[in-house]
Structure 1
């Protein structure tokens, strides 16, 4: 249960860097966080594993087929408990879809200028997962 008494919603996020060290981010098309940049991801559906949810969400939001790897941490944002995993690309081509208005690779200079979801920069910094270049 969250602080307000409502059950929490389990979510997953995919942290993915390309060969140049840029970070994959999406600009959210819907609330919460409409118009803000974040890592791609979403809700875990009933009966779904985190891994299956992450593969589905990454495909829907970014067009990429990924292989989930290590759980790097989790955050709680309101009623959402978000479990973030590193990922490796296995196929697909980058395009925004589903809940993403935009999807793109972000370098460190661009990252510093974006309107990000609350706490994202600090969390990625703490996990040593900011864009590398």
Structure 2
């Protein structure tokens, strides 16, 4: 039996737009997803999400308004949600591309499993 892995992602919104990154590496190479990655040993989830966002997009997000946990086979995902100036994002590190996209357009993209319901839930938590 493998150990549980802890992962973080950021749902960054500006109006009805969300920031997505296109994965450069496997798994799900070339699929669209939220910026994020694994929490390093000894690192807090908050430190990890700040590091991952900056490494993948160059953005610095001062604070997050909501956090949701999602459990899946082999990992726990913590999704941090915030509003941010996402138009300033640049593809860095393991992101092949970044894209600011309308929420209405997400279902038409090739995206990682559960991305669309995670984004909807995060957006709902920010606006309510």
Which category of TM-score, normalised to the shorter sequence, fits these structures? 0.7 to 0.9
Normalized against structure 1, the TM-score is what?
0.81
What is the SS of the residue equivalent to 2:28?
A: coil
Instruction: Report the structure, 1 or 2, having the larger helix content.
Output: 2
- Work out which of the residue numbers 71, 74, 77 in structure 2 matches 1:76: 71
Contact 1:68/1:86 (8 A) holds in 2: no
- How many residue pairs get aligned? The number is 125
Contact 1:65/1:90 (8 A) holds in 2: no
Normalized against structure 2, the TM-score is what?
0.84
Q: Aligned partners of 1:121 and 1:90: how far apart in 2?
A: 21
- Work out which of the residue numbers 3, 8, 27 in structure 2 matches 1:12: 8
4+ residue runs over 3 A deviation: 88-93
Post-superposition CA distance 1:33-84 (Å, at most 9, x none): 1111111101111111111111110001111011242443222344232111
RMSD, matched Cα: 2.4
